[in-house]
Amino acid sequence: MTAPSPASEPRTDVARALKHAAIAGLVSFGMLLPLIGFRTIQDMRNELVLETRPLLLASFVLLTIAGSLLVSLVLVPWKQRRAAAHIPGESVRRAHWRAHVAKWLVPFALGFVVLYPVIVLLGTGFGGAVKWIDNFGIQILIYVMLGWGLNIVVGLAGLLDLGYVAFYAVGAYSYALLAKEFGLSFWILLPLAGTLSAFWGILLGFPVLRLRGDYLAIVTLAFGEIIRLILINWVDFTGGYAGVSGIPRPTFFGIPFNANDDGFAAVFGLEFTPLYRTIFLYYVILGLALLTAFVTVRLRRLPVGRAWEALREDEIACRSLGLNTTNTKLTAFAMGAMFGGFAGSFFAARQGFISPESFTFMESAIILAIVVLGGMGSMIGVAIAAVAMIGGTEIMRELEFLKLIFGQDFEPTQYRMLLFGLAMVLIMIWKPRGLISTREPSAFLKERKTVAATFVEEGRG
Amino acid sequence: MEVFVQQLINGITLGSIYGLIAIGYTMVFGIIGMVNFAHGDVFMVSSFIALVAALVLTTWLGISSVFLSLFIVLIVGMLLTSLVSWTIERLAYRPLRGSFRLAPLISAIGMSIFLMNFVQVAQGPRNKAVPPMLQQVIVVMERDGYEVTVSYRQLVIWAVTAFLLLAFWYVVSKTSLGRAQRACEQDQKMASLTGVDVDQTISITFVIGAALAAVAGTMYLMYYGVVSFSDGFVPGIKAFTAAVLGGIGSIPGAVIGGLLIGLIETMWSAYFSIDYKDVAAFSVLVITLIFLPQGILGRPEVEKV
Amino acid sequence: MIPDAILRVEHLTMRFGGLVAVHDLSFAARRGEITALIGPNGAGKTTVFNCITGFYKPTEGRIALNRGGPSLWNELDALTASSVRSRKGPGGSLYLLERMSDYLVTMDARVARTFQNIRLFRGMTVLENLLVAQHNKLMIASGFTLFGILGLPVYARAESAAIERAAAWLEKIGLIDRADDPAGDLPYGAQRRLEIARAMCTDPVLLCLDEPAAGLNPRESTELNELLLSIRDETDTSVLLIEHDMSVVMQISDHVVVLDYGVKISDGSREDVRNDPKVIAAYLGVEEDEVEAVASEVGL
């Protein structure tokens, strides 16, 4: 092939970019015409009528064209230049820098989460602290814990589970119903709920042991949905759509968080505020999440954890080495389910109210997304993904100032899941193996070397 | 007996819709081994496209002939839905081809969440109800005051489904496109070496699946007269169940599976409990996968050591 | 019948649908020897292996493993008549492998295997591969995870013993310097050796190797031969290997069984087999009475 003359090259590039942009504009016009160009609304007589939004449509099409031009004229050449200008030793330097960051990241993050309520109190005072500790701190930690629990099943054992929320639900309903029925305390019911969830994990794990890959994913999805539908329809037991309300809240070793004389504030001579309960709950979920992390780190260095990872790498080789793959899979399901159950009973205790609405397939998808986006098997990656995805969507609630730009009708919260879905797609395209895709070996002879992502299998189970 | 015949009629109608969606799942799985999670939402989007197209035709252009407007709505719906699906494949799946196995699945789940919320934001969260059309019914049999009826709507659904399946069957079994698809199913690398444009073949597969889903979407809107942004998930899962039941990768299997799922659902509702009809459908999925993973018409998978 | 056999395969038949992969095959492998199962491609060798190691359930026949003295074979018929899969006693244990599923064959009967297309845990380090192989032993030491979670020293001791054992094998196969690298990063020949070392870490009495020399260069092939001979001479493990490359087999095997189209066509010492016209015919793909003509043509 002859090299094109330097003078003509940019022009053809621009011409091609313009052509692509025109096609993109046309496609987006066609696609968006019915859904953006028109809006179906109900008129006074409750009949559907159409409203047109030509300006909105035009701006979307123009945005598409601009985006397409940006990609082909700026992003692609930039990538090519970067690929061409390969600096020797850069990857080494980068790895070095990364190792440096990794060394300090964990202690720093730990310190931060332990001090988080204090930092929030200093930052916002008593007024705004509940929101920041509850909506951000507790909410994110619940998902970190769920992500770490599912990480055992998906990330370590390589078993694709799309129905994880079922165990979250089992934990939540176990706590809610047992606490209401028998008045048992949170600390007694927590291990009980975890055990029940683990039991369900084994129960649902048994029939699906032989299935692989996407089939396993779909069956677990079906199980998750079946459990949710039973929660909806078995009204006598679960309260159906209405759910369970008035769930006893956890106490501070027997001292309730209320405004009474025997309440937490009165006992410790403080002024009553709901903040104490929030802070207490924050440290409970932090403790549970750290327990999950501790147990998982330990398990990875034990035969059972190594067997999980070996199972992900090659199931047939496992069997040839005398590993009981049935038990290995079931323990992974049970451990994952148990942590899901812990998180579930915490969730019920924190909310005081649960209903099937909280345990939809969307929750399973979000948890799985956190695991895969974080990098399967990497606990730090999963935590980062949980912070980014859950924190990111929660922050959408706080963007009230956008109303000043887009007008008072603009409701930023309704874009939360829209952006969540979009972020899932974009992160997968950017990093298909997740944010942290390397693997830390569980044992070493001379030095601990990180295993590059290209060697690590994703599991066929 | 009368109840049974009536539910048979209803079940076949519902099953036709599931079957049309199931073909999209089964073809995509057959060719790139991926569960296209967003397919159910593409179906839902197609329902909205049909809704808007029907409103434009009836309230703006004043076309009163039901069949003419139905015809135009079908064509528009198929074209625009195909465009949507083509774009999704191009942007969200193609960059991930040959990459980490879970990446396309996660991308598809993300796409599904995106589409659902996009429609919710763009069209509002409320159910969209259209005035019922083609309400006439034909009484098939009658006993003790119980009439077994077939509505015109159901007849239209049967006719359109049958016609499209024949056309579609012709395309995949008799044309070079069908050959290219089967070649890609067997071995993509080999197919590209023998001159098959693999990317294009996969794109066309997505387009055909979406076009059939658009027909299902239009039929769904016409049959139930109501659609909402969340209507993609459950029919999508049931259609996927149908694809698995029939044997994933097998196109006649998808149709048979669709009809079976439709019948199971209506019969269960009639004879057992309408509340648990979805549990019945999901249980069928679980039982099929555990005891007959290759489905009714699929090829069994042999474990290689 | 060979009295000091460790493994007896009797009337083994394996059918896949209408296809008969192995037909009425009987042979025995002697304790402390290297037995080779050879034959042209598609002769059914790997199928025999999959039956022995529990990956396939044979259609018919008996596969028995003896972990005791020759007198133990007298009890074989009684064991077969019973419904159990093994007989354990002071004189040693006797197993019916066709009654056991894959992992039990390795865990209980102590038969280990390698694969034709290497099956290492590519994303785990070389050392980790060898630790997974010691799973069952470590599992007990970790109190089925309980002691391990609590961090009791009993597990730490067992683990360092396991690492020592792994290191000894790595020394032997010349991979000690690569212990902390991912197994998928090793060159092909080293992966083959590692897979053998991994199988040896399960403490097998019988090691089944599926085409261990496939794809090796002459130097690696020599190293492999040395490794196998040292396993035979220095450990209590007997070796059963599949090869279709005669030259490798002829250098190290004590006993050779030849298979063609699922049927045994020859069985004996390597000299016997080398001179058996049936074997030559099978390898040349001609009828037996044409062997001489063809052999003189190609200058054998």
Residue among C104, C127, C128, C177 with most chain A CBs within 10 A, to mutate? C128
In a domain, B156, yes or no: yes
A319, C127: Cβ pair inside 8 Å? Answer: no
For chain C, give the mean pLDDT: 89
Measured in angstroms, the CA of C206 and the nearest CA of chain A are apart by 13
The interface predicted TM-score of the complex, written ipTM, equals 0.91
**Residues forming a β-bridge with C92:** C68, C89
One pLDDT digit (tens) per residue for chain B, 305 residues: 788 888 899 999 999 999 999 999 998 988 888 889 899 999 999 999 999 998 888 888 877 788 888 899 999 999 999 999 999 999 999 998 877 778 888 899 999 999 999 999 888 888 888 877 777 888 878 777 788 888 888 998 999 999 988 888 888 888 888 888 888 888 888 888 888 888 899 999 999 999 999 999 999 998 888 888 988 988 998 898 899 888 888 888 999 999 999 999 999 888 888 888 888 888 888 888 888 877 788 766 655 55
State the Cα–Cα distance between residues C20 and A19, nearest whole angstrom.
61
B-chain residues within 8 Å CB-CB of A217?
35, 105
- In this complex, the chains that touch C, judged by 3 or more CB pairs closer than 8 A, are A, B
Question: What average pLDDT does range A254-259 have in this prediction?
Answer: 80
A373, B56: Cβ pair inside 8 Å? Answer: no
In a domain, B96, yes or no: yes
Chain-centroid distance, C-alpha C294: 34
A215 vs B52, B83, B293: nearest CB: B293
Residues 286-305 of B with CB under 8 A from C: 305
Nearest residue on chain C to B303, judged by CA atoms?
Answer: C55
The residues of A whose Cβ lies within 8 A of any Cβ of C are 295, 298-299, 301-304, 306-307, 309-310, 312-314, 316-325, 331, 439, 441-449, 451-452, 454-457
Contact with chain B for residue C15, Cβ under 8 A? no
Other residues' Cβ atoms within 10 Å of the Cβ of residue B108: 25
pLDDT in tens, B121-136: 888 888 888 877 777 8
Per-residue model confidence (pLDDT) at position B152: 87
List the end-to-end C-alpha distance of chain A, in Å, as a whole number: 46
In a domain, B273, yes or no: no
Per-residue model confidence (pLDDT) at position C294: 67
C103, A319: Cβ pair inside 8 Å? Answer: yes
State the Cα–Cα distance between residues A71 and C118, nearest whole angstrom.
43
Q: Is residue C113 over pLDDT 50?
A: yes
State the Cα–Cα distance between residues A338 and A190, nearest whole angstrom.
10
pLDDT in tens, C15-73: 988 888 999 999 999 999 999 998 887 788 899 999 999 999 999 999 999 998 888 88
Per-residue model confidence (pLDDT) at position A306: 95
The structural domain count of chain B equals 1
Measured in angstroms, the CA of B114 and the nearest CA of chain A are apart by 5
Nearest residue on chain A to B103, judged by CA atoms?
Answer: A432
B-chain residues within 8 Å CB-CB of A213?
101
A-chain residues within 8 Å CB-CB of C155?
302
A451 vs C125, C142, C163: nearest CB: C125
Q: Are A296 and A377 in contact (CB under 8 A)?
A: no
Residue spans per domain, chain A: 10-74, 111-455
Question: What average pLDDT does range A150-172 have in this prediction?
Answer: 93
Pairs of CB atoms within 8 A across B/C = 5
Q: Is residue A8 over pLDDT 50?
A: no
Contact with chain A for residue C192, Cβ under 8 A? no
Contact with chain B for residue C50, Cβ under 8 A? yes
Measured in angstroms, the CA of B98 and the nearest CA of chain C are apart by 19
The SS3 assignment for A354 reads strand
In a domain, B93, yes or no: yes
Residue C43 has which token pair? 């002769």
Convert B186-219 to b/e letters by CB count within 10 Å (16 or more is b): eebeebeeeebebeebbbbbbbbbbbbbbbbbbb
Pairs of CB atoms within 8 A across A/B = 186
Measured in angstroms, the CA of C74 and the nearest CA of chain B are apart by 34
C-chain residues within 8 Å CB-CB of B305?
46, 50, 55-56, 115
Question: Does domain C1-110+204-300 bear CATH number 3.60.10.10?
Answer: no
Kindly give, in sequence order, each residue whose CB lies less than 8 Å from that of residue C150, ignoring residues fewer than 6 positions away.
Answer: none
pLDDT in tens, A326-359: 999 999 999 999 999 999 999 999 999 999 999 9
B289 vs A34, A36, A211: nearest CB: A211
Q: Are C67 and C94 in contact (CB under 8 A)?
A: yes
C-chain residues within 8 Å CB-CB of A454?
184
Contact with chain B for residue C46, Cβ under 8 A? yes
Measured in angstroms, the CA of C161 and the nearest CA of chain B are apart by 32
Per-residue model confidence (pLDDT) at position B284: 85
Contact with chain A for residue C145, Cβ under 8 A? yes
A-chain residues within 8 Å CB-CB of C104?
322
State the Cα–Cα distance between residues B54 and B42, nearest whole angstrom.
18
Higher pLDDT, A443 or A85: A443
B110, A428: Cβ pair inside 8 Å? Answer: yes
Dihedrals phi, psi of C179, to nearest 5 degrees: -55, -35
In a domain, B302, yes or no: no
Dihedrals phi, psi of B62, to nearest 5 degrees: 65, 30
**pLDDT grade, residue A2 (50/70/90)?**
very low
Chain-centroid distance, C-alpha A175: 23
Residue A455 has which token pair? 């060697």
A40, B55: Cβ pair inside 8 Å? Answer: yes
Hey, what amino acid is at B214? Answer: A
Measured in angstroms, the CA of A256 and the nearest CA of chain C are apart by 33
Question: CA quadruple C2, C8, C13, C15: dihedral positive or negative?
Answer: negative
Residue among B102, B278, B283 with most chain A CBs within 10 A, to mutate? B102
Where exactly does CATH 3.40.50.300 map onto chain C?
Answer: 1-110+204-300
Query: Can you give the residue range of the structural domain that contains B86?
Result: 2-230
Per-residue model confidence (pLDDT) at position C65: 94
Topology adopted by domain A111-455: ABC transporter involved in vitamin B12 uptake, BtuC (1.10.3470)
Other residues' Cβ atoms within 10 Å of the Cβ of residue C205: 19
- In this complex, the chains that touch A, judged by 3 or more CB pairs closer than 8 A, are B, C
Kindly give, in sequence order, each residue whose CB lies less than 8 Å from that of residue B134, ignoring residues fewer than 6 positions away.
Answer: B66, B151, B152, B153, B156, B222
